[in-house]
Chains A and B, each alone.
Chain A
Amino acid sequence: MVGVMSFPRTTIGKKVIMAVTGLIWIGFVAGHMFGNLKMYLGAEHFNAYAEGLRTFGEPFLAYGQALWLVRIIIILAVVLHIWAAVTLKMRNLQARPVRYSKHRKLHADAASLSMIYGGVAILLFVLYHLAHFTWGLSAVHPDFRPTDPYHNVIVGFQNRLATGIYLIGLVALALHLYHGTWSMFQTVGLNNKSYDKLLRGLAWLVAIIIPLGFVTVPLGVILGILS
């Protein structure tokens, strides 16, 4: 009863899958955030960066191959992450068929109790974000130009509703990252009381720096720093 096939069937195996796929996504959002900051270098630089994501690895890789490789990895990761989350949540709901009339929390923080809801919010946000800046659906972006991402960002964030959705998405991301980052180490067995404060600190850093980096772009547009 050990091995590749049975391990993911255990509750702990599913959590390990969530930790590993979560780490992949932390790496992705960190890189994504860093790339977004190139907005501050101007239209030419930012658009060249966007094009560079597609020409990366040439001549060994064809146009767009590296980008698609990353996309395939993160799509697989998110599918596994959601599969593990949903199967565990179903199990957890069944584990207490009769609820308490009164149940006081002694320690749990909002981040740890809202992981599944935050996860759903982030998923919905990502779909909106893709429709907004990747697919450029006319229903969500008023003037989408496939070859001018700098323009798309500026125009996209001039809409207050769009900016509001991004702010909510980033709050959900911050909470998810805070519990997720610490939880990852606990789940794979790398946490103990002597590392706990350090890992909590790391979780704070990740949960603050990544969303903060992201939020500067829509705020920059609203405040007129980016135009």
Chain B
Amino acid sequence: MKLHLKIWRQKNAQDPGGFVDYDLDGVSPDSSFLEMLDLLNEELIAKGQEPVAFDHDCREGICGMCSLMINGVPHGQDREPIKQITACQLHMRHFRDGETVVIEPWRARAFPVIKDLIVDRSAFDRIIQAGGYISVSTGSAPEANAIPIGKKDADKAMDAAACIGCGACVAACPNASAMLFVGAKVAQLSYLPQGQIERYDRVVNMVNAMDAEGFGGCTNTGECEAACPKEISLDFIARMNSELIKANLKGGR
């Protein structure tokens, strides 16, 4: 199949960047979106041009590296019945022959473009460093059943832990807010006994780190949840909010 691509090209963080049009022929409907970009890059290299830089790693939807805004939707989940997948799991059969496909990087002040479609998501790492951990003495692995965890809490913690930190929530949010990511990370540890020790310091520190990175605020539009490839629920934002309120009511005690 043939495609008309409109791709954001930007040399580096300082370059203003702009869209460049490419016509690509011979795309297999069975190839993945990233394989389609590989095909384009091979053609560009053969012509002696600079290939399009884009983030990717596992290509099986679990690492959270791919970060493409495809036709105005993070990861390009814009056609039924496909929804909530990563860009690497999107296949070309969901596009029409001859279709124009617009590919942009995530847009957020906290996610500056490094090159072309690659953005710097280390803001997420700094938020995790602020509190997304538990402090334990390392050593031999403890007996798994030594700490009982209720089924419901374990399920919720696992649902929150499904977040792969790709940043689609920030990309989708009209305010470029990171609430869904931070909510998932705060909530995950809040349900588990191991997370109780630093529970209230964690939410305060992570929310402060989130705000310091320049992400927007939440207006409860639900765009993040709809775009999340891991179906992280808005419930975790509510959970983070109540955690922060509780932390403040405790006043650091």
Find out whether the CB atom of B214 lies under 8 angstroms from the CB atom of A94. yes
Which single member of A12, A91, A108 contacts B174 (CB below 8 Å)? A108
Instruction: Report Cα–Cα, A111/B248, bound state, in Å.
Output: 30
Q: Does B189 contact A (CB under 8 A)?
A: no
With A11-B218, A91-B216, A107-B222 as known contacts, state yes or no: A189 contacts B241, CB within 8 Å: yes
By secondary structure, the B interface counts as mixed
- Which residues of A have CB within 8 Å of B6? 101
How far, in Å, is A87 (CB) from chain B's closest CB? 9
Query: CB-CB < 8 A to A94: which residues of B?
Result: 109, 214, 216
Quote the shortest CB–CB distance from A147 to chain B (angstroms): 44
The answer to whether A188 and B72 touch across the interface, beta carbons within 8 angstroms, is no
Stretch in B51-59, B87-95, B143-151, B232-240 with 4+ CB within 8 Å of A:
B232-240
Bound CA span A14–B219, Å: 11
Is the CB–CB distance between A92 and B72 below 8 Å? no
A104 touches B241 (CB 8 A): no
* B175 x A106 contact (CB < 8 A): no
Chain B residues with Cβ below 8 Å from A15 are: 217-218, 241
Instruction: Answer whether residue A95 sits at the interface, using C-beta atoms and an 8 A cutoff.
Output: yes
Contact, CB under 8 Å: A189 / B243: yes
Q: Are A11 and B238 in contact (CB under 8 A)?
A: no
Known contacts A101-B104, A102-B72, A188-B245, A92 near B227 by CB under 8 Å: no
Q: How large is the interface on A (under 10, 10 to 19, 20 to 34, 35 or more residues)?
A: 35 or more
Task: Specify which of B71, B219, B252 is in contact with A3 (CB 8 Å cutoff).
Answer: B252
Pick out which of these stretches binds chain B: A29-37, A149-157, A178-186: A178-186
Judge whether B108 and A96 touch: CB under 8 Å: yes
Chain B residues with CB under 8 A of A98: 107
Contact of B247 among A2, A96, A179, A193 (CB under 8 A): A2
Please state if A96 and B175 are interface contacts (CB–CB under 8 Å).
yes
| A18 CB to nearest chain B CB (Å) | 10
Say how far B56's CB is from chain A's closest CB, in angstroms.
Answer: 21
Bound state CA distance, A56 and B194, in angstroms?
55
Instruction: Indicate if B85 sits at the interface (CB-CB under 8 A).
Output: no
Closest partner residue, chain B, to A96 (CB atom): B176
Chain A residues lying within 8 Å of B205, measured Cβ to Cβ, are: 1
Confirm or deny: A60 has a beta carbon within 8 angstroms of a beta carbon on chain B: no
Question: B residues 186-240 with Cβ under 8 Å of A?
Answer: 200, 204-205, 207-208, 210-211, 214-223, 225-227, 233-235, 237-240
Out of B78, B207, B220, B222, name the residue touching A104 (CB < 8 Å): B78
> Is B27 an interface position by the 8 A CB rule?
no
A contact set with B: CB distance below 8 Å: 1-4, 7, 9-16, 88, 91-92, 94-109, 112-113, 115, 179, 182-183, 185-193
